[in-house]
Amino acid sequence: MTGKLRIESNEFSYSDEKFADIQLLRYRVEGFEFLSLRQKTLIYHLSEAALAGRDILYDQNGARNLALRRLLEALYMALKSDGVAGVEGAEVREREAFAEYMKRFWFSHGPHHHYACMKFLPGCSREWMEDALRRYGISYDRPLVDYIFDAAADACRCNQRDGEDLLLTSSNNYYADGITQREAEDFYARQRAALTTPPECPPQIGLNSRLERGDDGTLRENVCRIGGLYGAAIRRIVRHLEDALPYAESDSQRQVIRLLIDFYTTGSLLTFDEYSIAWLEDTESQVDFVNGFTETYGDPLGFKGSWESIVNFRDEEATRRTRILADNAQWFEDHSPIDARFRKSVCRGISAKVIQAAIIAGDLYPSTAIGINLPNSDWVRRDHGSKSVTIGNFTDAYNCASQGSGMLEEFVIDDVTRQMIRTYGPVGDNLHTDLHECLGHGSGQLLPGVSADALKAHASTIEEARADLFALYYMGSGKLVELGLLPDAEAYKSQYYTYLMNGALTQLVRISRGATIEEAHMRNRALIAHWVLEHATEREAEIVNIGNKTYLRVNDYAGLQRLFGRLLAEVQRIRSEGDYEAARNLVETYGVAIDDALHAEVLDRYRRLNLRPYKGFINPSYHAVRNAEGGITDVTVSYTEAFDEQCLRYSREYSTL
Ligand code: ZN
């Protein structure tokens, strides 16, 4: 695929602007124009429902974030409409630094880094900001400006450091100020003990609420629902879901939307499980969507779901690939190198598809995942399976943007390896994602009586490692060539090389000097790479130094496959038995610490490439063409909006809280 395409006379480029450590990309919604009017109308209403929830995530990320956003946007708009005529010198630099802060704030839904979770400060001076606010007659609270410039006030949004009180040291807004980790854990332990649902089917307690303290000092939940927490945003989401109902593609999809409306109306987590099951059972509809409190990465205790939405439709051709995997799910389960007790005897319900994302919102915007595997409820997954998607148009955009970035030239050890990665990289990356999402997360089982959250703060890292190891082990097994998913017996090597290089070296570019690895996916990659390198006693892979630069050298790819299998067996055991101590040991030994000299070297080599480690996506904008009666006669899509224009429009049109 080429980097530039012409569409509807708009010049389309995958790559858009860069600021701080971020590069914004655009994604094309391939095939939207070939959908029926009914499908386009459905997508239109669902995309409105997606944008209607936007304010929720701002508030979840921090109690002051919405007030901050309003203040910063007022100044940003005043400066923008004032123009740059006559502006020079230090004033230019202050304005540029402020604009960069604004964009980072939008990107992260608050003043904390979207990935590293640490607070970032504006590059402009406090004097300049206050002066500018006064100049444009924007009234403001001094404490709010104090807060912006105070690195110590809410230093970390989501602290995962072992041994500290994870709530008192995290600034997210899922728990009211002053509630300790112990209090929250006790609260949810009592709630779990009081459940009246069958013990094998527990709801995801705490998922859609904020834990607060009443006047009498006791803790209670403020539940997200119409009439409750975030009621105004949720009411608007529901209105758009009601608009979408008549355009549902099937009765089962109509039922999905109705149950979601019920869930938003009552806040009942039992309804949420019903909704999840109905959503799983609707495999026929081409258009699909997620809208709700979903992933728990933003809560150090793993209870609270951050709000997100994605609307998408199935890419029929690309889906063929993942269907082959799903059809062979039982074979993969039976041949997995894990203890037989941890294997699923019947592997079912894995519906695999490639989708085209049509819009992303909340915690999926602008930084997003390239694959999704839902629902997260363990018992629903066990009894009803899971839906896996690879987001084809995001993968394409990433691949196009990374061509010619210079990373391979700088970090890959030699020409032969580079050539191999150029040839097999894209097919290997796609297949790894498919294996991870379609089979990896869905494989294996917990032993009876093991609680799904036994691994506590390390659960996410271990789960991601399990899915990645499953993918890595099978990449090199020969089965994928037999199934026609890899072109030949050499192809998997490219994935092995790039995976280990990333885990041991290149992912360090996303972390600032002196910090440790915090995010679950990054911990998982570091864990796998460092464990494999340490256990490569036959020099299957090693870290070497050539001309004062550090490289990964792989001597025995088949040997690596055996090592991935060994670690998969151990990680599966940890998860199946709920062995918290072993999980902690593995994560703390291999997944957290960074060698400082190596980190400095990698950052230096990376800086010379002038690239940005984090990517995000600008949404397309949809326009409903209406007739005199207000009925929709067509929906058009355009790709021209700049990131700041998009964020300002969203604030203008979708502010609810
Ligand atoms: Zn995953």
Give per-residue pLDDT as tens, 475-491.
999 999 999 999 999 99
Domain that holds residue 70: 15-157+628-654
CA of 433 to the centre of ligand 1 (A): 9
305-314 mean pLDDT: 97
What b/e string do you get for 188-223 counting C-beta neighbours within 10 Å, with b at 16 or more? beeeeeeeeeeeeebbbbbbbbbbeeeeeeebebeb
CA of 371 to the centre of ligand 1 (A): 8
**In angstroms, rounded to a whole number, what is the distance separating the alpha carbons of residues 633 and 613?**
42
CA of 251 to the centre of ligand 1 (A): 30
608 plus 636 within the same structural domain? no
- Do 517 and 509 contact (CB within 8 A), yes or no? no
Q: Is 343 exposed, middle or buried (0-12, 13-18, 19+ CB in 10 A)?
A: middle
CA of 490 to the centre of ligand 1 (A): 25
CA 518 to chain centre: 14
Cis peptide before 199 (omega within 30 of 0): no
Cis peptide before 375 (omega within 30 of 0): yes
User: How much is the pLDDT for 395?
Assistant: 84
User: How much is the pLDDT for 351?
Assistant: 53
Q: What is the pLDDT of residues 239-287, one digit of tens each?
A: 999 999 999 999 999 999 999 999 999 999 999 999 999 999 998 999 9
CA of 366 to the centre of ligand 1 (A): 19
- 126 assigned to some structural domain: yes
Residue 267 identity: G
- 344 assigned to some structural domain: yes
CA of 23 to the centre of ligand 1 (A): 23
Q: Are strands 386-391 and 350-362 parallel, antiparallel or unpaired?
A: parallel
Q: What is the pLDDT of residues 521-572, one digit of tens each?
A: 999 999 999 999 999 999 999 999 999 999 999 999 999 999 999 999 999 9
CA of 437 to the centre of ligand 1 (A): 6
606 plus 644 within the same structural domain? no
**In angstroms, rounded to a whole number, what is the distance separating the alpha carbons of residues 438 and 227?**
38
* DSSP designation for 629: T
Residue-averaged pLDDT of the chain: 93
- 562 assigned to some structural domain: yes
646 plus 509 within the same structural domain? no
Q: How many domains does the chain have?
A: 2
CA of 523 to the centre of ligand 1 (A): 12
Ramachandran sector of residue 217 (left: φ over 0; alpha: ψ -120 to 50; beta: rest): left
CA of 613 to the centre of ligand 1 (A): 20
- 220 assigned to some structural domain: no
CA of 521 to the centre of ligand 1 (A): 8
494 plus 637 within the same structural domain? no
CA of 516 to the centre of ligand 1 (A): 21
CA of 324 to the centre of ligand 1 (A): 20
CA of 252 to the centre of ligand 1 (A): 27
- 216 assigned to some structural domain: no
Ramachandran sector of residue 656 (left: φ over 0; alpha: ψ -120 to 50; beta: rest): alpha
Residue 314 identity: R
CA of 352 to the centre of ligand 1 (A): 14
**In angstroms, rounded to a whole number, what is the distance separating the alpha carbons of residues 426 and 371?**
15
540 plus 446 within the same structural domain? yes
- Do 49 and 291 contact (CB within 8 A), yes or no? yes
Residue 607 identity: R
- 349 assigned to some structural domain: yes
CA of 458 to the centre of ligand 1 (A): 14
466 plus 495 within the same structural domain? yes
Say whether pLDDT at 67 is over 70.
yes
Say whether pLDDT at 349 is over 50.
no
397 plus 500 within the same structural domain? yes
Say whether pLDDT at 8 is over 70.
no
Q: What is the pLDDT of residues 157-202, one digit of tens each?
A: 999 998 999 999 999 999 999 999 999 999 999 999 999 999 999 9
451-473 mean pLDDT: 94
CA of 587 to the centre of ligand 1 (A): 16
CA of 441 to the centre of ligand 1 (A): 7
- 263 assigned to some structural domain: no
One-character DSSP codes across 265-332: HH--HHHHHHHHHHHHH--S-SEEEEEEEEE-TTSTTS-PPEEEEEEEEE-HHHHHHHHHHHHTHHHH
User: How much is the pLDDT for 12?
Assistant: 66
* The token pair that represents 385 in the structure block: 């399976």
**In angstroms, rounded to a whole number, what is the distance separating the alpha carbons of residues 369 and 617?**
11
pTM of the predicted protein model: 0.77
User: How much is the pLDDT for 208?
Assistant: 98
405 plus 488 within the same structural domain? yes
CA of 580 to the centre of ligand 1 (A): 20
Half-sphere exposure of 214 (CA within 13 A, CB side): 6
396 plus 454 within the same structural domain? yes
CA of 134 to the centre of ligand 1 (A): 48
Instruction: Give me the phi and psi of 150, to 5 degrees please.
Output: -100, 105
CA of 34 to the centre of ligand 1 (A): 31
Say whether pLDDT at 312 is over 60.
yes
Residue with tokens 């009439």: 227
CA of 408 to the centre of ligand 1 (A): 25
CA of 640 to the centre of ligand 1 (A): 32
CA of 230 to the centre of ligand 1 (A): 29
CA of 488 to the centre of ligand 1 (A): 26
CA of 143 to the centre of ligand 1 (A): 40
Query: Reading across the β-sheet that carries 287-295, which strands appear in turn?
Result: 287-295, 306-314, 350-362, 386-391, 371-374
CA of 440 to the centre of ligand 1 (A): 8
CA of 97 to the centre of ligand 1 (A): 35
Instruction: Give me the phi and psi of 309, to 5 degrees please.
Output: -150, 145
Q: What is the pLDDT of residues 80-110, one digit of tens each?
A: 998 888 889 999 999 999 999 999 999 999 9
82 plus 137 within the same structural domain? yes
Closest to 305 in 3D by CA, of 385, 227, 364: 364
CA of 522 to the centre of ligand 1 (A): 11
127-134 mean pLDDT: 97
CA of 369 to the centre of ligand 1 (A): 9
User: How much is the pLDDT for 572?
Assistant: 97
- 286 assigned to some structural domain: no
CA of 417 to the centre of ligand 1 (A): 27
CA of 259 to the centre of ligand 1 (A): 26
646 plus 588 within the same structural domain? no
* DSSP designation for 435: I
Residues in CB range of 523: below 8 A, 6 or more apart: 461, 517, 587, 591, 592
497 plus 531 within the same structural domain? yes
448-458 mean pLDDT: 91
Residue with tokens 């999704």: 372
* The token pair that represents 150 in the structure block: 């105070």
CA of 41 to the centre of ligand 1 (A): 31
Say whether pLDDT at 4 is over 50.
no
User: How much is the pLDDT for 611?
Assistant: 83
CA of 444 to the centre of ligand 1 (A): 14
